[in-house]
Every structure is written in structure tokens, then in C-alpha cells.
Chain A
Amino acid sequence: MAEEIVVPGYKRWLGSIGDQVGFLVDFFRNLFAGGFEWSEFVRQCYEIGYRSMLLVGITSFIMGVVLILQLRPTMISFGAASMLPKTLSVSFVREIGPVIIGIICAGKIASSIGAELGSMKVTEQLDAMDVSGANPIQYLVVPRILATSIMVPVLSVLGDAIGLFGGFLALNLRDTISFKLYFTKVIASLDFSDFLPALVKTIFFGFAIGFVGCYKGFTSNRGTESVGIAANTAVVTASLWIFVIDAIAVQITSLLFY
């Protein structure tokens, strides 16, 4: 619309860090301010969780199948075919499941939050809410970030289960292993220290997805093309955060448990 003021890149970058911290503070202030929007929270959980289930289910299933098919020849050449369930479960639950599902959720959820709030910004709905004396952070941001922080871990546990089931079916293509034996092996190979850090990690993934989506939507420019930009940068930024959080989580986990 109007001319942009030319600001050096680093200053803009620092400014945006400041804005994000401010947004984060705003979120926590409103989270504990009372007047929690339960119905909006439930609606978001449904939108975010339920509507991503099919996608997460299919991808996890395929990942489970593919991993077994890929691992099998190598494991057999080591004479360790019986270790396949353990290898799959540990790698899936610790790392592959959370990260793949996190990335998928970033693609699906962060973009839709970014686009939705971005278009509310463009059509002055956010301003209208603000000007009416209602609180858009309370009504729009808090329920979304909480919903992603809860639903991404849920989706990730679901994805783990479906992925491991996919692995079971893939194993049965060549060998026969009973469902009971397979899952006994899977459960036996999984430790508290495999499961808990992975779960905690996905809470942070979910938080990052919700936060980035909301922030990009709220700070999008005026003009229709900015809705696309908000959605797009939300996905890229959220995906990046997932890898950063994953790298940090691996360090903390190995310090705590090994």
C-alpha cells in the first residue's frame, strides 16, 4: 500500500524478535488472566486434531511399512531379523514419529492458522475485535496455541501406534509373526526414557506450530497477497523450529537419561 520505510535488515530482524517476545508475553498474560474461551478451545481441538487424523494416520502407516521393508534386508544380513520390531519401535517412537508428524502438522495446521488469522487481519476483523474492546489474543490466540500444544502430542501418539501397526503388517508380508508376539516385543523394547522425552518434545512442537501460525497471521500486512505470505512463512518457520527443538531435545534427553 504505502511506501515501506527502509530499515537495515538486522534492525528489522531484531525488531521482529522483540515483537515475538512481546506476543509470547501477551499469550501468557492472557492465558492466566481468566475468562478462558472453552467453546472456542474445543472447536479448535476438533479442527486441529480430528481433521488432521486421517493425514497423520496414512503417513505414519506408510512410514512404518517402508521402514520395515528398508530395514529388513540389512537386519537379515546381520542375522538380526528378530530385532526388527525393536529397531522399528525405538526409532519410530523416539525420533521418526514425532518429527515426521510434527512436520506434517506444521504443513497442515500452521498454514491454516496463518491463513485464517491473516485473512482476518486483511479484512480488518482483528482491528474490529480490538476496537470493540474485546480481546483478540484471548479469543483467537490462546485457544489455538493450547489446542495445538495438546493435539500435536495426541496425534503423535496415534501416529506412533499406527506406524508400528504398519510395521507389523509389513513384517507379515515375508515372515509370519503373531500380533501378540510383535507387540510384546515392541512394548518390551520401549522404555520410559524413550516415550516421555518424545512426548514432551511434541508438546513443544505443537506450541511452536500454534505460536508461529498465530504470530504470522497477526503480523501479516494488509493486502490479499499477504494472506498467502503469512501461510507460507508460517509453515517454513514452524518446520524450522521443529528441527531446532528436536536438536535441543536430543541434547537434554541424553544428559538426563544416558
Chain B
Amino acid sequence: MTEQETIKKKQAPKSQKEVVILIRDLKKAFGDKEVLKDISLELDKGENLVVLGRSGSGKSVLIQCIVGLLKPDGGSVKVFGEDVAGMSDKQLKDLRIRIGFLFQSGALYDSMTVRENMEFPLTRVLKLKDQGEIDKRVAAVLESVGLSDAIDKMPSDLSGGMRKRAGLARTLVVDPEIMLYDEPTTGLDPITSREISELIISIQKKNKTSSIIITHDMECARIASDRVLILTDGEFTKEGTFDELLKSKDKNVASYFNII
């Protein structure tokens, strides 16, 4: 059996577990550049899946396909059992409410203060009216990322790391069932990175959130992952727990772990 087949076999549906994201043979190209060639993956409920891969290997493209920001060229993406490609605008919107997406850049709305950024999904998406409850949720989520003091600042007055944490807070404020983190710790100092990694774990514990975490940060992968996938040239080439991969003799895999 080739390595590819082993991976597919390992990912065959496990009946006792609830699968929240199921991707089969996903393909995506830009022009004649094939970014994703043949991606299959499964995410179980409550699981933290870390995706490792070099810069430009298509990690961001992968999670953008999951929320329908990019249209796949082939294969299928099912979330909560529904095919994303076949969804109406309404269905897609309802799905997106249940998924939190942390952008690599944070993507704060820069015409709004941090507070307004946090309130935006509460008032516009969840349509909350009770200002007391809104204030409470905003304060709690900012507290959890350590940004309580920055509540009335504009995004342009925040440091890069603070923007990232604010972006994270904005996706968390609606308590999503699935979280897609695009490099949650990149550009942060080691101490903050560690706090974010631990935050990811506590989110998983608290809400039984299922997550895909894209990262280059091995410390984050070590702390947060239940399972690790390695993306090389548009395909997953390795799968295993962090400790399994750490022991791997495969050169490609070892090159990620050497840097610790």
C-alpha cells in the first residue's frame, strides 16, 4: 500500500464519531497552477486538527474552500453533512454563522473601534438587541484574549499581535461550533503564542469546538493538536499525532520538527 492510500484508509468514516467536515478529492487551481491537487480530510466533532505546510502550499486556500470563499474545481466539501458547493446564499449564510474564521491578517474592520468590531457580528449576524448582554459578551471575549484595555482603540493603534488577538476575539464572540484558524500565533511573542495555544485548547474544551489550525509554530502544534496533517505540493503526505510525527524518520517530516 502506498502512503497516500494509508492516509485515505485511516480517514475512512468512523461510524462512532460525528464528522463535522468531510472533504473528498478536493482540487483547486489558479490559472494553470494547481494549488490543491487531491485533498481528502475529515474533522471529527471536538477535534483539533493541525495542518502544517510550507508557505504557499495552499493552506489558506484549503480553509477558504471550506467556507465557500473560493469555489473548488473538483471534489466535494461537506460541512455538517451538507455539500457547500450546492448551497443557496441563505444556507451558506446559516453555515457561516456556525463557523469562525480567523484570517491570517486578523482582518479587523479598520473604520471601527475594537468594541465596534466585537459588536458587529453580535448585532448584524446574531441580531442581538440587549445592549447589556452585548457589553457582557464583548468584555468577556476581550478579557479572554487579554485585550480589555484596548476596547476603545482603533485597529490602526494596535500592534500586529494585538490585531491578531482582536481578530481572534471577534470570531470567538459568537461561539462558533467550528473554528478555522489561519496561523493564529504567527508574529506573536513566545509568551503570547503560548497563551493563544492554550486559549485554543480551552475553547475546544468549553464548547466542544472542532478546529482546523494552520500553523508554522511547532509549539502551538504541540500544545493544541489532537492530530497533525502535513501538506506538501497540494497533497497531504503525512498524518499522525504530534508525538508520532516527532519520531518519524521521514526527512520531509523531520524538517518541520528539527526547528524545535
Contact = CB atoms under 8 A, between A and B. Distances in A.
B96 A129 contact: no
Given A3-B31, A5-B31, A123-B110, A132 B105 contact: no
Given A120-B110, A124-B104, 9 more contacts: A3-B32, A3-B33, A4-B31, A123-B110, A129-B109, A132-B174, A133-B97, A134-B121, A134-B124
Given A3-B30, A124-B103, A133 B110 contact: no
Interface in A1-36: 2-5
A134 B104 CA distance: 19
B112 to A, nearest CB: 10
A176 interface: no
B107 interface: yes
B181 interface: no
Interface residues of A, number: 19
A51 to B, nearest CB: 15
Nearest to A139: B124
A4 B67 CA distance: 24
B236 interface: no
B158 interface: no
B242 interface: no
A224 interface: no
A131 B31 contact: no
Interface size class of B (residues with CB under 8 A): 20 to 34
Interface in A114-171: 116, 120, 123-125, 127-135, 139
27 contacts: A2-B30, A2-B31, A2-B33, A3-B31, A4-B31, A5-B31, A120-B109, A120-B110, A123-B105, A124-B103, A124-B104, A124-B107, A125-B108, A128-B101, A128-B103, A129-B109, A130-B69, A130-B96, A131-B67, A131-B96, A132-B97, A132-B120, A132-B121, A133-B93, A133-B121, A134-B124, A139-B124
B125 interface: yes
Contacts of A134: 120-121, 124-125
Interface of B: 30-33, 67, 69, 93-94, 96-97, 99, 101, 103-105, 107-111, 120-121, 124-125, 167, 170-171, 174
Contacts of B97: 132-133
Contact of B107 (A2, A5, A127, A139): A127
Given A131-B96, A132-B121, A133-B125, A125 B31 contact: no
Contacts of B67: 131
Contacts of A133: 93-94, 96-97, 121, 125
A132 B103 contact: no
Nearest to B67: A131
Contacts of B108: 125
Contacts of A3: 30-33
A194 to B, nearest CB: 40
A127 B180 CA distance: 14
A125 B32 contact: no
A132 B31 contact: no
A120 B117 CA distance: 14
Contacts of B105: 123-124
B15 to A, nearest CB: 31
A99 to B, nearest CB: 31
A123 B107 contact: yes
Contacts of A125: 107-110
A132 B101 contact: yes
Contacts of B31: 2-5
Residue of B30, B124, B171 contacting most chain A CB atoms (<10 Å): B124
A2 B170 CA distance: 30
A11 B97 CA distance: 36
B98 to A, nearest CB: 9
A119 to B, nearest CB: 8
Nearest to B63: A131
Contacts of B125: 132-134
A10 to B, nearest CB: 20
Contacts of A135: 93, 124
Contacts of A129: 109
Across the A-B interface, give the 4 residue pairs with the lowest CB-CB distance, nearest first.
A128-B107, A2-B30, A3-B31, A133-B97
